[in-house]
Amino acid sequence: ASGPLVLGIETSCDETGVGIVRGTTLLANVIASSMDEHARYGGVVPEIAARAHLEALTPALTAALAEAKVSLHDLDAIAVTSGPGLSGALMVGVAAAKALALSLGKPLYAVNHLVGHVGADVLSGEDVEYPTIALLVSGGHTSLLLVRDLVSDVELLGETIDDAAGEAFDKVARLLGLPYPGGPQIDRVAATGDPAAIRFPRGLSQPKDMDRHRYDFSFSGLKTAVARWVERARDAGEEVPIADVAASFREAVTDVLLTKAVAACRDRGVPRLLLGGGVVANARVREVAAERCAAAGIELRIPPLSLCTDNGAMIAALGAQLIESGHAPSDLSFGADSTLPV
Ligand code: KG4
Ligand code: ZN
């Protein structure tokens, strides 16, 4: 393996990620999640996430160094997510990264979390080509990007105007009485349901939405539609067909995600689609992505799931790419920016 040895730190949401790469070679990817601590609240609680990062970061760092069989002194640089994400959570990673960089005398690169998801692809071991459209779907974000160059030209085409896709899964699971996180639960229950049983709305897909919101997403109307449907059934004393509701909901989310992603590929003449984020674990999302990309002649790229969900290796990989393309390190005065643009 060749290239710079980079440590990456990711604390933007509920995963404490510490990864180490050499160039485009993955050496370590340690992830500690505080998911369980948020379960009884039905979603990530920022204060709990921040405290959990503080506790998990040093053990994760030690584990990553052991996994990569390197010492802190061997590092060429450190990269850290400076945003977007939860402010308090980001601050833990940023403070730790600055302390390491200062004490070790190593350059520090502040990187964007969403671009980090795109950067994960370079660790696939295959040649990665640009431009690509990237669809990033998790509990915290739902974004459609046009990536012409990983380190210098990333354009946000659209994003959710309300809930993230994963958040919608979590909320709908909750109203169906399924535990948190809801995505995997809905996916499991939906496997035996009829996706055509109920026609749920596809947010921002009407002709009137196509001017301003062609590549944006909205899931709160869908969530409300599911809630109303379930409520009506319960009021009528009917048994709620949970599998059909889950399958129909999953179909609506999947349809709108892939319709917009494929439209972006087509409109921009980009024959490549990269998926990232925890929702990529969804069986139907993967299936429909494969079908529609094949039909449209689009190359579909899906990194392994451990690199799709939030992790430090993707941040390290982006840091290594920045170094190799000659970017200067960040000035240590940067802070955590919860709304950092790409
Ligand atoms: O990327 P990720 O691990 O991190 C955060 O967003 O923090 O994504 C977690 C999200 C959760 O909302 C979870 O419900 C969703 O991804 N998710 C899924 C599936 N597995 C995880 N959503 C749909 N289907 C799945 N199989
Ligand atoms: Zn993420």
d(CA 128, CA 214): 27
d(CA 250, CA 328): 44
For the question of an ipTM over 0.95, the answer is yes
Q: Are 137 and 275 in contact (CB under 8 A)?
A: yes
Q: What is the 3-state secondary structure (H, E, C) of 104-139?
A: HCCCEEEEEHHHHHHHHHHHHCCCCCCCEEEEEECC
Report CA(249)–ligand 1 centroid distance (Å): 15
pLDDT digits (tens, 9 = 90+) for 183-209: 999 999 999 999 999 999 999 999 999
DSSP letters of 17-70? EEEEEETTEEEEEEEEE-HHHHGGGTS--HHHHHHHHHHHHHHHHHHHHHHHT-
d(CA 85, CA 97): 16
Cβ(138) to ligand 1 under 6 A? yes
**pTM for the whole thing?**
0.97
- The pLDDT score that the predictor gives to residue 42 is 86
d(CA 35, CA 32): 9
d(CA 243, CA 240): 9
Cβ(163) to ligand 1 under 6 A? no
For tokens 């009137």, the residue is: 208
The preferred substitution site among 136, 141, 251, 279 for testing ligand 1, maximizing ligand atoms within 8 Å of CB, is 279
- The pLDDT score that the predictor gives to residue 150 is 97
d(CA 79, CA 317): 9
Question: Is 136 annotated in some ligand binding site?
Answer: yes
Average pLDDT, the chain: 97
pLDDT digits (tens, 9 = 90+) for 241-294: 999 999 999 999 999 999 999 999 999 999 999 999 999 999 999 999 999 999
Handedness of CA 90, 94, 100, 104 (dihedral sign): positive
% the chain with pLDDT above 90: 98
Cis omega (within 30 of 0) for bond into 271: no
User: Strands 153-159 and 272-276, how do they pair?
Assistant: unpaired
Question: Which of 37-46, 67-76, 169-178, 284-293 shows the lowest mean pLDDT across its residues?
Answer: 37-46
Ligand 1, atom 23, residue with closest C-alpha:
183
pLDDT digits (tens, 9 = 90+) for 110-123: 999 999 999 999 99
226: Cβ–Cβ under 8 A, 6 or more apart, which residues?
A: 172, 175, 200, 245, 249
Kindly state the tokens that stand for 83.
């945003």
Report CA(77)–ligand 1 centroid distance (Å): 30
pLDDT digits (tens, 9 = 90+) for 134-153: 999 999 999 999 999 999 99
Task: Decide if pLDDT at 94 tops 90.
Answer: yes
- The pLDDT score that the predictor gives to residue 302 is 97
Question: Sorting pLDDT into bands at 50, 70 and 90, what band is 1?
Answer: confident
Report CA(168)–ligand 1 centroid distance (Å): 10
